[in-house]
Structures are given as C-alpha cells and as structure tokens.
Structure 1
Amino acid sequence: MNSVSVIGCGNMGSALIRGLADTEYTVTACDVDEAALEAVAGAADRTTADIDEAAAAPLVVLAVKPDVITTVLDALDLSADQTLCSVAAGVETDVLAARTDATVCRLMPNLAAEYGEMAAAMTPPGVDDARAVFASLGTVVELDEELMHLATAINGSGPAFVFYLIDAMQTAGVEGGMDPDDARALATQTFRGAAETIQRSDRRIEASIDAVCSPNGTTIEGMHVLWDGDCADQLQSAITAAEHRSKELAAEVDHE
C-alpha cells in the first residue's frame, strides 16, 4: 500500500495530508471546496474534487464530519481489496461496513499528525496495512471498538485540554511580568519536555512528580494547590463530557 486518498481537507484531513507528505506514500487530497484543496496543494501529490478519482487508492481515508459521512459513503464505490478508514468522531465500524465492500477501520488521530507526533487510537486491531501508514505519523494504539469513544476524548479532544493548560501557564508568566513570547516558549517546552520524560521512563507518573518535588521546595508548594483543588476532577470531567458527546454522535448516525 503506497497510495492514500484523503477525502475531506478540513483541519484533521489537512493535518494527515501534510504529515503524509513527509513519508513514502503518494497522497491524493479530495474536497468539493476549492479553497481547501488549494490550502493542501503543496503537500498532496494531487488534488481533486472528483470522489471517483480519490476512490482509486488502496487506502481511502474519510476525514469528513459525522453528519455527512453516510452521504459520502454512499457515493463511494470501493472493492473488497481496498481499505476504508474513517476519522469521523463517533461513527462506528458497523455503520461503515454496512455501506461498503472494503475492509473498514476507524482512526481517532489528532492534529499533531502534521508534524509526525500524532497520538491515535485505531479499531479493529489487525488492519495492518492501514496501521503501517498511520504509524508513520506517530503513535498508534489498537483498541476494541467500545473504547474508541474514550479514546476520542483522551487523544482526539485532549490536545485542546492541553492547549488550555499551556495557555494558563503562559498567562501566569505574562501576568507576572514576562514577555509573552518568553512565557509561551517556557510553557510549551515544559509540556513537551515533561511528556518526553514520561515516555522515556518506566517509572510511575507519581514517582516522576516526587522526583521534581524537593522537601519544602517550590514545586511541592504548587502541587499542594493542585492536590487540594479540583484540577484533576475537572480534567476528568472534561474527558467524560467529550466521551459522552462521542456516544451521542454515534447514536445520531445510527438513526439516520
């Protein structure tokens, strides 16, 4: 599988297209919006508004909104030797399989695909040709279908939650007198470095927190504020709310 079509060149579709531009795969971008095609023209090998042309690739990625996915599916004529992958939140594989002869899978990626730093969940396990393509864009975790709503909340919606936290740290720096660019640089690199530290270590996250917290030091004072507050509860509630919405979207598509 050396050719991929991405149908839908919005935020997520364009991130996948730009990420794949740095890989070995040939990419066709498809959208009815000429402006969207122009925006990815420098990254895609070809652009087209013709869905039949996009449907010729061994792997066809549907990066369209859940409310139009069945309409797009009905316009696609795929064969059993092709693979169809949807990145539409909440749209389950049985909805896809009922409308195509292709092998189907779902991917919940995030915008970091553009930089090869994507975190993605994929179902069902075992669609190895598609998994190999997406693994070129970052980390892919294979999950059972019932966990995809939760993955949608964690790694799909999660970047927005992290952006919110970065902004809070940046704002604290600016309000304390820092130059905004300096505060942004420190906040963003702190999150990146912290994530890299966790990825490269096999110790529990609690142990990593302890490693930063010197007795009677600055970090432990800040951690007491977080432990005594509801930061963790609020973040978990945000994930639960996003997961619930993913389930609602699935029900809306199922009833079409």
Structure 2
Amino acid sequence: MSEAALAGVSEAADQTTTDLTTAAEAEVVVLAVKPGTVGTVLDELTLSSDQTLLSFAAAVPVEFLESRTQATVVRGMPNLAAETATMACAVTPTATDQVAAILSDLGEFVEIEEAQMDIATAVNGSGPAFVFYLIKALAAAGVESGLDEAEARVLAAQTFKGAAETVLQSEESLEALIDAVSSDGGTTIEGMEVLWDSDVDTVLGDAVRAAEDRSIEISREFQHD
C-alpha cells in the first residue's frame, strides 16, 4: 500500500502498517486487493480459526479463499459510496456480527447466495459508474437548455440522491412512485412517454449483463487454482 493510501485512512484507523504480520493480528482482516494478487497475499497472511477474513476482492470465490486460510471467510462486494457511508454491499454466505457492524457503519448490506454475487457485482459494484453516467446526461440536458454547469450538476445529483432515498423509505412499488410524479397532462408524463418508447431499459440491461459476464470470467480463473 502506498504512503498516500495509508495517509488517506490514518484518521479512521488506530494504526496503519504495511506489515502483513501486524495486519494479521486484527479480529477482522479486510482483503481489499485486485483479484490477481489475492493468492500471493493469502500465501503470506497467516490467520487462525478465531479470526474473520472479509474479502472485497472482486469475483474471487469463497471456496478459493477458504482453501488458503483457516479464518472464517465472508465475501463482499461493496461500492464507491463507502467513502460517504452510503454504500450498497452484497455479502455471502452470511455476515458475522463483527462484519455486520463494520458494514452497517458504511451503508446498507444484503446477504445473498454466492451464485448471485456476479450479478450483485454488476448491479451495486459497477452500478455507481452507470448512475454517474445518467447524472451526467441529466445535467448535460439542463446545461443545454440554459442552466449553469455547477447548478445543473447539483440539481441532477441531488435529484438522484432524493429519489434513491425515497425508494429506500417507501413501501410503494417503483411503478407507483413513477405514477406519483407523472400527473396527466403534466411535464413528467411527457418525458416518461419518451423513455417508455425508447430502448433505454435494454441498453442499461446490456450494461449490467456485460459487467456480470466479466465477473463470471474472472471467477472462472480461480476455479482451477
């Protein structure tokens, strides 16, 4: 880990180190490295059955991790929003109490079957990039019609944030929430008609499937190791 990376987490950590022996003393050891380096790191990281290994290494199966450590393994797929404590995270097989406490401090998490981790990687792991793209497009439409770029960015981003929070706090279906904004003869329904007549659902679905397929490809690289 670089000095810059260590400095970036120093305020949130009791101690920072580049020494694996020191890191291995923690009750929960978080493995947040690129998939290709997981084997090398675990070969040098000695953990006991009393410890937990929380792996955020994308597409690396639980079986591969368990074959290289005695620790209890929890595999997770967080996303970039952990930086603002609004993360969405999928974990498998189940989160221990300690892992649940860590993840809850960073946002929301769900427990899923490992067979679902590739699609979760696409939806919540890659999803922020897709949302950023849509925010950019919404803001650009505002700029094109006269809004200041900074103002359009705030309005578009806050709109996504508010809509997302509404979904999380509401028991209504997404269709019902759309209807709640789209009154007959109003402005929203005119825009929704354009979306309904477009192939935006197909394109977004294709983006998710492409990310899922790549996650599956990476996972297969570990099946014979």
TM range (shorter): over 0.9
1:162 alignment partner AA: V
- The aligned counterpart of 2:32 is 63
- The aligned counterpart of 1:229 is 198
- The aligned counterpart of 2:211 is 242
Q: Over aligned residues, Cα RMSD in angstroms?
A: 1.2
Structure 2 Cα separation of the partners of residues 151 and 126 of structure 1: 16
Structure 2 Cα separation of the partners of residues 208 and 52 of structure 1: 52
Structure 2 Cα separation of the partners of residues 117 and 144 of structure 1: 23
Structure 1: any 5+ residue segments left out of the alignment? 1-30
Q: Say if 1:214 and 1:220, in contact at 8 Å, map to a contact too.
A: yes
Structure 2 Cα separation of the partners of residues 126 and 199 of structure 1: 21
- Partner of 1:42, secondary structure, is helix
Structure 2 Cα separation of the partners of residues 39 and 127 of structure 1: 27
1:222 alignment partner AA: G
Between 1:38-47 and 1:212-221, the stretch displaced more is: 38-47
Structure 1 Cα separation of the partners of residues 86 and 207 of structure 2: 23
- The aligned counterpart of 1:176 is 145
Tell me whether 1:52 sits opposite 2:21 in the alignment.
yes
Alignment of 1:64-213 (within 5 A): 64-213=33-182
User: Normalising by structure 1, what TM-score?
Assistant: 0.85
Structure 2 Cα separation of the partners of residues 64 and 196 of structure 1: 30
Q: Say if 1:67 and 1:253, in contact at 8 Å, map to a contact too.
A: no
Structure 1 residue 126 displacement after superposition: 5.0
1:195 alignment partner AA: A
Structure 1 Cα separation of the partners of residues 77 and 109 of structure 2: 9
Q: Say if 1:108 and 1:120, in contact at 8 Å, map to a contact too.
A: yes
- Partner of 2:221, secondary structure, is helix
- Partner of 2:16, secondary structure, is strand
1:190 alignment partner AA: T
1:169 alignment partner AA: L
1:74 alignment partner AA: D
- Percent identity, aligned pairs only? 56
- The aligned counterpart of 2:7 is 38
Structure 2 Cα separation of the partners of residues 41 and 139 of structure 1: 24
Structure 1 residue 144 displacement after superposition: 0.7
Structure 1 residue 41 displacement after superposition: 2.6
- The aligned counterpart of 1:11 is none
1:207 alignment partner AA: A
Q: Say if 1:105 and 1:123, in contact at 8 Å, map to a contact too.
A: yes
* Count of residues paired in the alignment: 225
Structure 1 residues 226 and 186, CA, compared in 2 at 3 Å: closer, same or farther?
Answer: same
2:169 alignment partner AA: R
Extract structure 1 runs of 4+ deviating beyond 3 A.
Answer: none
